[in-house]
Structure 1
Amino acid sequence: MLVYDLGGGTFDVSIIAMESEVTEVLASHGNNHLGGDDFDALIAERLAQHFEQEHDINLRHDYPVAWSRIWRAAEEAKIKLSEAPFVTVREETLVISNGIPRHLELELSRQDYEALILPLVESTLDSVTKALQDAGKTTSDINAVLLVGGATRTPLVARILEERIGMEPRQDIHPDLCVALGAGVLASRLAGHDVDRVLVDVTPYTFGVRCIGEVDGRTCDHRFAKILHRNAPLPITRTELFYTTCPYQKAVDVEIFQGEDEDIYNNIPVGKFIIEDLKPVPEPSEILCRMALDINGILTVTAIEKCTQKSKHITIENAMRPMDEGELAEARKRIAELYASDVVYTGDTESDDTEEEKEITAGEHGDAVALMKRSEALMDTMHDEDKEEAIELLEQIKDALEGDDEEALREALDKLKELIFYIEGK
């Protein structure tokens, strides 16, 4: 396991081996002069520069109270930008110059903020590399990445680590509380108490919306844009930025889905609504989509037109419940419709094969067609977990056929054969 600890004032990365009851730190590296405070400093400097440009007043030296307010505003902006794509910093009457109160107002985007801190975050990768080398490990030896410290809430940190390690960091541990939680567990064990498991409320599914984007290398209008990621601690609120697609567009359909696939047709729809009477502008209009999920499974989705702050929302009860029979049937129907337009599978089990189908019925491609039809016929006899696995394998087979990936096709076919053998043997 790789533990990436970026706190307020220090940074450490450790490579840890765990076996049975033994936990061993194999290597550590870090920088005791790097942390979230450095992120605050960069934002504070950006705010001070803007104020100086607006009012020709340098707050850094002769205005200690105003400078303190700038730092506090910078920290608040950093925290908000971890959840939202924009934040507006407003500080009234920072100073009074020539009897006139001077105010600060500046909108910061997450993109601007991440550009400011990118060199600092990239510098932490040197410590990651050094720790791996000292431990005699490579990224392929790491089976989990754990984020510790409030500064790791910045989305850029998780993205860069995922690119470096090739693994998405775990989201199920609260970065602000995990050190205290670990200390409590250790204290309990030292006192002679058994500690088996620590329960953390997390979202079991990923939630997002439909948008225009690339799916399998092709631009389409059914891409799944993830907003709340699976295994994130609850409660959680996240906001992402989208754009209208047409000049003078006055309405936007917001369709909410639950799932992991980049194609919404392979996920489960959970709700939809329309935000209307948008301001007609010739350029793409910015639409913010905010999702909030609480520990009771209540999902609130809000769409906000950024320029006017016009908004509309929907509340979805029991958003974390598992798929029921009807939803699984709908998922099967959508998959069948997808295959119906594909040359390797028509979804029609009663009609004769077409000439194109006959050309691919040899070898593994023929096995794929037969197994897909066979699994479709068994869907009604499967339990929920088996149905979900079958649907996922059908998607993998379709992708392998479309991409001519023989190795992936063989692997998916073998797994589907095992599943069918298990179902038919019940």
Structure 2
Amino acid sequence: MAYGCREDRREKILVYDFGGGTFDVSLIDVEEGVIEVVASDGDTRLGGDDLDRLLQDLLYAHLPAGAAGARSGKDLRLEARLKNAAEAAKIRLSTETRVQVKEAFLTSLKGKPVNLEAQVSRGEFEDRIRAALDRTFDLVKGVLKTAKLKASEVSKLLLVGGSTYIPLIFDTLSGKLGFEVHREVDPTYCVAIGAAIQGAIISGEHLDTILVDVNPHCLGIRCLTIRPGGWENDDHYSVILNRNTPIPSSMTRTYYTAEEGQREAEIEVYQGEELTASKNTFIGSFVLDDLPPDLPLGSEIEVSFEYNLNGIVEVSALERSSGRRKKLEVDVNRGAGTKQEAAARRSRKSGP
């Protein structure tokens, strides 16, 4: 209901519902306002709270040995504060690549207060939760098998539940599994919105159309990919903001320098869905220069996109070790001709 699945056309829709306490996946057939559940499955022992606990375990590992040993379930105050800290960190890691977790006077050790100060990266969090998420993906595959369908035969996949903001979920469902993923409606509230719409229909209320502004195309940057054996591709398109993301929105991803002592990194911004950057629409670029002269190979550079309601995207790049940052504002509605501009730029670089 919240996603507008009441239109007069037939669609097969997969609902990926990652709630706080349970996970459910359902394949539904929608035709002329009639919704039929074709197949469903789930895990009543897996939910967003379990992901919080996995991150909570990681925070415990940052406490001193004696203090960490206090985890017996008797110190309810310690448990509650770490649980809240883990949930807050999980939410932030949906848009940030790393977060700083600070909690003062969590407990005491030998009569002295114990504070928590830990830095958690998105990669660490994803490593912790990967096995749990794989269980959900296996259930998705099982539902498709029961319905005798391929992912390409599903019109759209709808995300439900706050935990579906985790980038690894979107990336796996849209990339490896090949679904057309939608989250135009806030996954945290779409069940409540759908229930309200259904209630209004039952009571005979008139419903106006609600316009939700979304990102119409993927936004990302051109980057270099290196595979074992020395194979390189310097025209790879790395998506940072996915298509159909509600705006305003923001996202950060981490990239790495390709050379020892690399002094600059050019950030080229594109819009489109092609895997090759130059086949998409070029909308702007800038150079993050004056990097430290002794910068090691593989140093982290964080690239962030912030998309506002006026169609302006602020793109920023940060080299973490030095704190060197640059940014650019681009208008995604600039118009045609930008592909040629990007091709000319690369031609000048590769020329004599």
Normalised TM-score (structure 2): 0.84
Q: Which residue of 1 aligns with 2:9?
A: none
Q: What root-mean-square deviation, in Å, do the aligned CA atoms of Structure 1 and Structure 2 show?
A: 2.8
Residue in structure 2 matching 1:192, options 204, 213, 219: 204
Instruction: Report the Cα offset of residue 37 of structure 1.
Output: 0.2
Instruction: Report the Cα offset of residue 133 of structure 1.
Output: 4.9
Q: Which residue of 2 aligns with 1:284?
A: 298
Residue in structure 1 matching 2:339, options 331, 339, 351: 331
| Deviations 1:263-310 (CA, angstroms, capped at 9, x unpaired) | 332222222222233233233321111111012212111111222333
Q: Unaligned stretches of 5+ in structure 2?
A: 1-12, 347-352
Residue in structure 2 matching 1:255, options 241, 264, 268: 268
Q: Distance in 2 between matches of 1:34 and 1:295?
A: 36
Q: Are the counterparts in 2 of residues 266 and 335 from structure 1 also a CA contact under 8 Å?
A: no
Instruction: Report the Cα offset of residue 60 of structure 1.
Output: 4.0
Q: Are the counterparts in 2 of residues 51 and 57 from structure 1 also a CA contact under 8 Å?
A: no
Q: Which residue of 1 aligns with 2:194?
A: 182
Instruction: Report the Cα offset of residue 218 of structure 1.
Output: 6.1
Q: In structure 2, do the counterparts of structure 1 residues 297 and 196 end up closer, same or farther at CA, with 3 Å as the change threshold?
A: same
Q: Distance in 1 between matches of 2:47 and 2:316?
A: 33
Q: Which residue of 2 aligns with 1:270?
A: 283
Q: In structure 2, do the counterparts of structure 1 residues 125 and 283 end up closer, same or farther at CA, with 3 Å as the change threshold?
A: closer
Q: In structure 2, do the counterparts of structure 1 residues 301 and 175 end up closer, same or farther at CA, with 3 Å as the change threshold?
A: same
Q: Distance in 2 between matches of 1:110 and 1:138?
A: 31
| Deviations 1:180-218 (CA, angstroms, capped at 9, x unpaired) | 221232122222245474321101122112211279x96
| Deviations 1:226-250 (CA, angstroms, capped at 9, x unpaired) | 1111111111110000112222223
Residue in structure 2 matching 1:167, options 155, 159, 179: 179
Q: Are the counterparts in 2 of residues 275 and 312 from structure 1 also a CA contact under 8 Å?
A: yes
Between stretches 280-289 and 143-152, larger displacement belongs to 280-289
Q: Unaligned stretches of 5+ in structure 1?
A: 339-426
Q: Distance in 2 between matches of 1:172 and 1:9?
A: 23
Q: Are the counterparts in 1 of residues 22 and 46 from structure 2 also a CA contact under 8 Å?
A: yes
Instruction: Report the Cα offset of residue 57 of structure 1.
Output: 4.3
Q: Distance in 1 between matches of 2:272 and 2:73?
A: 52
| 3-state SS of 1:237 partner | strand
Q: Which residue of 1 aligns with 2:42?
A: 30
Q: Which residue of 2 aligns with 1:238?
A: 251
Pair 1:301 & 2:315 matched: yes
| 3-state SS of 1:96 partner | strand
Q: In structure 2, do the counterparts of structure 1 residues 82 and 60 end up closer, same or farther at CA, with 3 Å as the change threshold?
A: farther
Q: Distance in 2 between matches of 1:54 and 1:281?
A: 38
| 3-state SS of 1:299 partner | strand
Residue in structure 2 matching 1:10, options 17, 22, 30: 22
Normalised TM-score (structure 1): 0.70
Q: In structure 2, do the counterparts of structure 1 residues 264 and 29 end up closer, same or farther at CA, with 3 Å as the change threshold?
A: closer
May I ask how many residue pairs the two structures share in their alignment? 332
Q: Which residue of 2 aligns with 1:207?
A: 219
Q: Which residue of 2 aligns with 1:103?
A: 115
Q: Distance in 2 between matches of 1:64 and 1:10?
A: 24
Q: Distance in 1 between matches of 2:95 and 2:41?
A: 29
Between stretches 88-97 and 136-145, larger displacement belongs to 136-145
Q: Which residue of 2 aligns with 1:142?
A: 154
Instruction: Report the Cα offset of residue 9 of structure 1.
Output: 1.0
Q: What is the 5 A alignment of 1:352-363? A: none
Residue in structure 1 matching 2:91, options 79, 82, 95: 79
Q: Distance in 2 between matches of 1:253 and 1:164?
A: 29
| 3-state SS of 2:182 partner | coil
| Deviations 1:62-82 (CA, angstroms, capped at 9, x unpaired) | 432222111111111111121
Q: Distance in 1 between matches of 2:257 and 2:241?
A: 21
Q: Distance in 1 between matches of 2:262 and 2:106?
A: 40
Q: Distance in 1 between matches of 2:106 and 2:154?
A: 49
Structure with the bigger RCO (C-alpha within 8 Å, sep 6+) is: 2
Residue in structure 2 matching 1:70, options 82, 91, 97: 82
Q: Distance in 1 between matches of 2:139 and 2:296?
A: 48
Q: In structure 2, do the counterparts of structure 1 residues 248 and 120 end up closer, same or farther at CA, with 3 Å as the change threshold?
A: same
Residue in structure 1 matching 2:129, options 84, 109, 117: 117
Higher normalized strand content (fraction of residues): 2
Q: Distance in 2 between matches of 1:151 and 1:81?
A: 11
| 3-state SS of 1:51 partner | coil
| 3-state SS of 1:151 partner | helix
Q: In structure 2, do the counterparts of structure 1 residues 133 and 223 end up closer, same or farther at CA, with 3 Å as the change threshold?
A: closer
Instruction: Report the Cα offset of residue 134 of structure 1.
Output: 4.9
| Deviations 1:105-156 (CA, angstroms, capped at 9, x unpaired) | 2222222211211221122234334434554545454221111101111122
Instruction: Report the Cα offset of residue 22 of structure 1.
Output: 1.4
Instruction: Report the Cα offset of residue 61 of structure 1.
Output: 3.3
Q: Are the counterparts in 2 of residues 60 and 67 from structure 1 also a CA contact under 8 Å?
A: no
